[in-house]
Structure 1
Amino acid sequence: MSESAQPDLAYGKASSTVTGARYTTLDRVQPGHTATVIGISGDADPHVIHRLSAMGLVRGTEVTVLRAAPLRDPRQYRFRDTSICLRGAQTSLIDVELRGEAGTDHE
């Protein structure tokens, strides 16, 4: 498998690799892993972008995937001292940089 594909953290879907960093969307991050928000897709409706930003999903926010429903949707996330369930349609719009498993040092 090429260095640019990272299915181990992405439910079998590849994420891109740029100079060692791994980028994907939040819906592809497995439970137990943490990612840092790098932006919200410009393809999203303006009201969706506003709502996600108002919740605190802005550049630099670390998000931990806590768990998934039996069919993977919705999933529970923890960020900014809150826990919330979001659907894949919403989290597929959030671009993230993968960090690794929750509670581990990744630097």
Structure 2
Amino acid sequence: MIKSLNNLKQGEIGVIKAFKGKGEVRKHLMEMGFVRGSDIKVERVAPLGDPIEVKIKGYSLSLRKEDAKQIEIEIK
């Protein structure tokens, strides 16, 4: 099942399948290590849903909800 990263719950793991964003947003996410085929785990979601803390390639990163909406994930 494909979902946007912002819809995953704490503890869920998935694989990055695609990006909705274009231009600078996409470039910024890819520079941070968000590339197709990478495993990603949602470590924590703030009480109001923003930011979302994820683990990717051994690193913990925080994303704004708007940026997380741009990343499509297939849940494992």
TM-score by length of 2: 0.94
Q: Determine the C-alpha separation between the residues in 1 that align with 2:22 and 2:36.
A: 18
The answer as to 2:36 corresponding to 1:71 is no
Aligned pairs for 1:1-107 within 5 A: 22-41=1-20, 44-99=21-76
Secondary structure of 1:78's partner?
strand
Q: Determine the C-alpha separation between the residues in 2 that align with 1:98 and 1:86.
A: 18
Bigger relative CO (Cα 8 Å, ≥ 6 apart) = 2
Instruction: Quote the RMSD (CA, aligned, Å).
Output: 0.8
Q: Determine the C-alpha separation between the residues in 1 that align with 2:54 and 2:13.
A: 9
Structure 2: which 5+ runs fail to align?
none
Bigger Rg, structure 1 or 2: 1
Runs (4+) of structure 1 moved beyond 2 Å?
Answer: none
Secondary structure of 1:35's partner?
strand
Secondary structure of 2:17's partner?
strand
Secondary structure of 1:50's partner?
helix
Q: Determine the C-alpha separation between the residues in 1 that align with 2:37 and 2:24.
A: 21
- State the shift of 1:31 in Å: 0.5
Q: Determine the C-alpha separation between the residues in 1 that align with 2:70 and 2:18.
A: 9
